[in-house]
């Protein structure tokens, strides 16, 4: 690994920690199952909208068995405000059926077991591990992927490859908080269509920002 890339990553980690010390998961939950469900519901939907829906959902379906046994049409109606409700209902029910069949209804606290669940990939698994179990993981969502590429921390576009690139650069104890900080930065500053490069505190370390200043 080039020393300059390691130094860049170290500087970025420090600046993100300075500017987003309170960065955290913006999905509301009180246990691993609630976070799993909320994360699935957040696909193509804002966390704020999910948080409006989940209080009723969590009361109605407090266990994996409740989701597993519920009529699919009932779940679809409960998830309707989050969009793509048919697919989400089917996915959550299948996940919870697998939890009942293989994990006594409990969400497993390992990446290996989580990604065996239907429709659960590394991103969702790392969300659950980092925020529900305190097990560090880098979550590569659309914001993390975009910002990491623009900063020059990765040349890859595949989320799994980006995750492994970042794992080499970021200290393991910072993986979860770094993911949140990069997500917050992607939402507030380094947006997809109109990034605020002139006012970005990461600009001195950003390949995209430096190129923008030269244009």
Q: What is the pLDDT of residues 151-191, one digit of tens each?
A: 999 999 999 999 999 999 999 999 999 999 999 999 999 99
Identify whether the C-beta of residue 51 lies closer than 8 Å to the C-beta of residue 28.
yes
How many CA within 13 A on the CB side of residue 37?
33
Question: Which domains, from first to last, does the chain contain?
Answer: 3-23+138-214 (1.10.1670.10), 32-126 (1.10.340.30)
What pLDDT digit, counting tens, does each position of 61-100 carry?
Answer: 999 999 999 999 999 999 999 999 999 999 999 999 999 9
**How far apart are the C-alpha atoms of 74 and 77, rounded to whole Å?**
5
- Does 2 have pLDDT greater than 70? no
**How far apart are the C-alpha atoms of 94 and 72, rounded to whole Å?**
10
The answer to whether residue 8 is catalytic is: no
Average the pLDDT over 140-160 and give the result. 97
**How far apart are the C-alpha atoms of 74 and 85, rounded to whole Å?**
11
Q: Considering 90, 141, 193, 194, which one is annotated as catalytic? A: 141
Identify whether the C-beta of residue 35 lies closer than 8 Å to the C-beta of residue 128.
yes
In b/e form, how buried is each residue of 11-26, taking b as 16+ CB within 10 angstroms? ebbebbeeebeebebb
**How far apart are the C-alpha atoms of 152 and 206, rounded to whole Å?**
7
Q: Considering 123, 158, 168, 193, which one is annotated as catalytic? A: 123
Question: Which of 47, 37, 179, 26 is CA-nearest to residue 107?
Answer: 37
The answer to whether residue 158 is catalytic is: no
**How far apart are the C-alpha atoms of 177 and 190, rounded to whole Å?**
18
Band (pLDDT 50/70/90 cuts) for residue 211 is: confident
Q: Mean pLDDT across the chain, nearest whole number? A: 96
Band (pLDDT 50/70/90 cuts) for residue 201 is: very high
pLDDT of residue 213: 61
């Amino acid at each position: 690994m080039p020393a300059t890339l390691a130094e860049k990553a170290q500087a970025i980690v420090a600046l993100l920690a300075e500017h987003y010390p309170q960065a955290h998961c913006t999905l509301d939950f009180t246990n691993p199952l609630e976070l799993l469900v909320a994360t699935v519901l957040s696909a193509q939907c804002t966390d704020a909208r999910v948080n409006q829906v989940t209080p009723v959902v969590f009361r109605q379906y407090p266990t994996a068995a409740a989701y597993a046994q519920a009529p699919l049409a009932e779940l679809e109606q409960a998830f309707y405000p989050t969009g793509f409700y048919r697919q989400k209902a089917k996915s959550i029910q299948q996940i919870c059926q697998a939890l009942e069949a293989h994990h006594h209804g409990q969400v497993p606290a390992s990446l290996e077991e989580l990604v065996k669940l239907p429709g659960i990939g590394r991103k969702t698994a790392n969300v659950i591990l980092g925020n529900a179990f305190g097990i560090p993981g880098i979550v590569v969502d659309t914001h993390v992927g975009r910002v990491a590429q623009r900063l020059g921390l990765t040349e890859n576009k595949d989320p799994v490859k980006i995750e492994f690139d970042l794992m080499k650069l970021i200290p393991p104890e910072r993986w979860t908080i770094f993911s949140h900080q990069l997500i917050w930065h992607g939402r507030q500053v380094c947006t997809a269509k109109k990034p605020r490069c002139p006012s970005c505190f990461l600009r001195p370390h950003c390949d995209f920002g430096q190129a923008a200043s030269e244009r």
